[in-house]
Amino acid sequence: MEDIKAYVQQHKDRFINELIELLKIPSVSADTAYSQDVIDTADAVKESLSKAGCDFVEICDTPGYPIVYGEKIIDPNLPTVLVYGHYDVQPPDPMELWTSPPFEPVIKKTEIHPEGAIFARGACDDKGQMYMHVKALEYMVQSNTLPCNVKFMIEGEEEVGSKSLGWFVERNHEKLKNDVILISDTGMISNQQPSITTGLRGLSYVEVEVTGPNRDLHSGLYGGAVANPINVLAKMIASLHDENNHITIPGFYDKVEELSLEERAEMAKAPFSLEKYKKALDLNDVYGEKGYVTNERNSIRPTLDVNGIWGGYQGEGAKTVIASKAFAKISMRLVPNQDWEEITELFVKHFTSIAPAGVTVKVTPHHGGQGYVTPIDSIGYQAANMAYTETFGVPAIPVRSGGSIPIVALFEKELKSKTILMGFGLDSDAIHSPNEHFGIFNYLKGIETIPLFYKYFVELSK
Amino acid sequence: MEDIKAYVQQHKDRFINELIELLKIPSVSADTAYSQDVIDTADAVKESLSKAGCDFVEICDTPGYPIVYGEKIIDPNLPTVLVYGHYDVQPPDPMELWTSPPFEPVIKKTEIHPEGAIFARGACDDKGQMYMHVKALEYMVQSNTLPCNVKFMIEGEEEVGSKSLGWFVERNHEKLKNDVILISDTGMISNQQPSITTGLRGLSYVEVEVTGPNRDLHSGLYGGAVANPINVLAKMIASLHDENNHITIPGFYDKVEELSLEERAEMAKAPFSLEKYKKALDLNDVYGEKGYVTNERNSIRPTLDVNGIWGGYQGEGAKTVIASKAFAKISMRLVPNQDWEEITELFVKHFTSIAPAGVTVKVTPHHGGQGYVTPIDSIGYQAANMAYTETFGVPAIPVRSGGSIPIVALFEKELKSKTILMGFGLDSDAIHSPNEHFGIFNYLKGIETIPLFYKYFVELSK
């Protein structure tokens, strides 16, 4: 497929500029202040699918943000690829740490991206990776090489738990009927070593509120005499891990799949330098569950992290106050077989049970999703591996990711098809962080590789 | 002294309106955004002292906010009373919990204040209590009953640790020379039972910063593999108290004065209803150091409270992030004999020593002050007690307060004179909280009582 290389070279400036325009719209789904921008982004995505060659596109209303659907059916008897992606992005804060405004994309060279990378919120997660599929379709349509049917389902609530996606999928089994689901919302090992994500962690995200006295109090007059909600919250959070960093919630590990030593040995083959890892994060040491190494801690083991905490006086100077309330956002990453709703219940039950007298505790579940594992002997995995091998010159390595794409488990349950996670981002792309970026190399390489997946998937399906 | 009652009745509306004008200026010393307002308040206080009858008033510049000085010297051979107060106030947040704007004073009746109370930040702490002394002077000057010399020293940094006051006092021993220092910046038991604060707790206030990775990270890709600064901070804070709520900092209790059972029995005589206390705060139970009751926990025992905590995502919705940094403001209330600088050092040493590998910890001391105890056999205490007895019909009860007025210890060291804490506020006045207020009864009663202190102090001094 030499044509695709040539086509990308010929149109790459336009491909980059089209993505930059999309990145300028601040589609932050977590903050209602941006709701109009999220909706505008859906319209922009719909427009791009039409231009790329879809025969039919529509904005599908949901209880939340709309889902953009598009399709090009060339022959009902041929296989159908369903492409999933999301057009919403994470909140940009902390703003002050961005070296350029999050919604004013700029191209800068980095050590890892000598050809330059696009810096903007959503550049990699997931606007950039989603748009590779739109441009790959454009090529296949223009070159008349689209070998099968294709459907697009691009949602706007991935960063807030895909609340409406389940609702939509349940109601559109026929419309979404497919033979394989293709998603680019993960990473690969490096620009020299492609990899395919075969495992994802599940997620349970909750918010907790600890209330002590009915009003803020003077810490001199009341200090030491009433439960301080912040001290209590700290104590409760600390108690969720034991001295070995095992999670102490009763029943939490009951369904955790323990990998065999063989499987763990297989994982250990993935190239990894602890020194580079620590250096990249300016850490004097790593930290985590006893008995497991870093690459196991962030992939095959469940974890519990506080994602945010607040209470009392946070302003300049000093205020001697005992706050009435303290809050925290807590998320648990789950491994296959752990049911997120069951884990959420265990958390709520345990967390409220450890509240001392003198405070009341409220736990509000935000959202969650199941973990997932993709079999590497499936046609889809094979096709993806062949595509990577052709464009990168080396086969892809199967890896377990610590991240969560809850909807992958939903798709298998509702649509009875497997998902292939063809990621082109890098861990160093700072997704969910200030200065998120996506390599020009990665963006164009993705556009080159995707048509090959279609080709091999159809060949292997015969 | 029937005249004072009559004078107060005749002028009370003006007294109230003058205080309301003063309360309208948002003199928040902790937040530089209000710096001009703080300075304007100093001018207003200077003006009020002139009008009340001081012969000499001036705004004294300091490295921080100015100190207002005023005096009326009627005879160098007569005793001199030095009145101390502060014109700065606590930050008003959380704003949303105020039932009326903090700097738009309104008079509302409450169960405890059937005659009405002035609701505004600083109404009680300390503008209202400070201004009682200004109006008491006005009466004594107008009625020609001022029996001795009087000096005023009103500062604007009390709520941020009186940073410049020490600097000022050290440089003005002669100007500030006095026989007794009179302060109304504390409370009394109830409007039926006056009390005089004989003990104050010291204070050490620090801010801590825990840094993990050099940037915010995706909690899926890194969760469980690196130290999460918020989880670590929670663990470190939790470890500062043991299961009996004793503070675990090595050496923290070494110099704590243990009261005799007799003294504790004496303290227990002060009227106190645990049920009413819990009900007033909507608490199902109190909480604190094992082996001590509520009134001991908040007065004769040192304590450690987190006054503010923050880190990670605090916005709407969910963000799956591991924050790079987490912060907390922590204050320790100290009892007499504990040296605040020594305790601060112990805290810094201990807190940094318990930081696990994978994070770095920074501790920044904010400010502090020593505890203090006033002897009840002093002339000043006797005079105050006689004044209260005359206006309230019952003698005052000596009580230990949990609050801190660090400068009281400073005054004794620098000016070699005792401080009398004639407080007219109530615990329920919500100082440092939303809806701070000061009873009209208390305000006027204070103006009535203060001239009697001058009368008896001069008589007892002969």
DSSP A144-176: T---SEEEEEEES-GGGT-HHHHHHHHH-TTTT
* Residue contact B329–A323, C-beta within 8 A: no
| pLDDT (average), residues B216-229 | 92
Question: What domains can you pick out in chain A, each with its CATH number?
Answer: 2-200+371-461 (3.40.630.10), 204-256+302-369 (3.30.70.360)
In this prediction, residue A154 carries a pLDDT of 98
* Residue contact B213–A283, C-beta within 8 A: yes
Q: Name residues 180-219 of chain A within 8 A of B (Cβ).
A: 187, 201, 203, 205, 207, 212-219
| pLDDT (average), residues B113-123 | 97
> What percentage of chain A reaches a pLDDT higher than 70?
100
| pLDDT (average), residues B271-295 | 94
> Which chain A residue has the Cα nearest residue B29?
A317
Which ipTM value was assigned to this complex? 0.74
> What percentage of chain B reaches a pLDDT higher than 70?
100
Of A391-405, B118-132, B443-457, minimum mean pLDDT range: A391-405
- In chain B, residues with a C-beta closer than 8 Å to the C-beta of A284 are 357-358, 360
Rounded to the nearest angstrom, the minimum Cα separation between A322 and chain B is 6
Which of the two residues, A37 and A295, has the higher pLDDT score?
A37
pLDDT at A258 over 90: no
- In chain B, residues with a C-beta closer than 8 Å to the C-beta of A217 are 281, 432-433
* Residue contact A310–B305, C-beta within 8 A: no
* Residue contact A319–B90, C-beta within 8 A: yes
B369-415 pLDDT per residue, tens: 888 888 888 999 999 999 999 999 999 988 888 777 778 888 988 99
Residue linked to tokens 């704003």: B95
> What is the residue type of B216?
D
Is beta strand B180-183 parallel, antiparallel or unpaired with respect to B419-421?
A: parallel
| A188 φ/ψ sector (left φ>0, alpha ψ -120 to 50, else beta) | beta
Rounded to the nearest angstrom, the minimum Cα separation between B23 and chain A is 19
Residue A88 tokens read as 């919403």
Residue B109 tokens read as 């009746």
Mean pLDDT of chain B: 94
Q: How many CA atoms lie within 13 A of B231 on its CB side?
A: 28
B357-368 pLDDT per residue, tens: 999 999 999 888
Mean pLDDT of chain A: 94
- In chain A, residues with a C-beta closer than 8 Å to the C-beta of B368 are none
List the single residue in A93, A287, A402 with the smallest CB-CB distance to B221.
A402
B67-76 pLDDT per residue, tens: 999 999 999 9
In this prediction, residue A1 carries a pLDDT of 56
| pLDDT (average), residues B428-445 | 96
Interface membership of A244 toward B (CB under 8 Å): no
This prediction has a pTM of: 0.75
Interface membership of B435 toward A (CB under 8 Å): yes
d(CA B303, CA B252): 10
Rounded to the nearest angstrom, the minimum Cα separation between A309 and chain B is 5
Q: How many CA atoms lie within 13 A of B359 on its CB side?
A: 32
* Residue contact B358–A220, C-beta within 8 A: no
In this prediction, residue A187 carries a pLDDT of 92
In this prediction, residue A308 carries a pLDDT of 98
Rounded to the nearest angstrom, the minimum Cα separation between A21 and chain B is 25
| B289 φ/ψ sector (left φ>0, alpha ψ -120 to 50, else beta) | beta
Task: Provide the number of CB pairs (under 8 Å) joining chain A to chain B.
Answer: 364
Name the band, by pLDDT with cuts 50, 70 and 90, for residue B445: very high
Of A217-221, A257-261, B136-140, minimum mean pLDDT range: A257-261
Q: What is the DSSP string of A65-114?
A: S-EEEEEE-S-TTS-EEEEEEE--B----SGGG-SS-TTS-EEE--SS-T
pLDDT at A267 over 80: no
| pLDDT (average), residues B184-194 | 93
List the single residue in B286, B310, B319 with the smallest CB-CB distance to A226.
B286
> What percentage of chain B reaches a pLDDT higher than 90?
82
Name the band, by pLDDT with cuts 50, 70 and 90, for residue A296: very high
A207-232 pLDDT per residue, tens: 999 999 999 998 888 999 999 999 99
> Which chain A residue has the Cα nearest residue B427?
A221
Name the band, by pLDDT with cuts 50, 70 and 90, for residue B2: low
| CB of A149 closer than 8 Å to CB of A79 | yes
In this prediction, residue A407 carries a pLDDT of 84
Rounded to the nearest angstrom, the minimum Cα separation between A159 and chain B is 8
| pLDDT (average), residues A129-150 | 97
In this prediction, residue B317 carries a pLDDT of 84
| pLDDT (average), residues A456-461 | 97
| pLDDT (average), residues A105-134 | 97
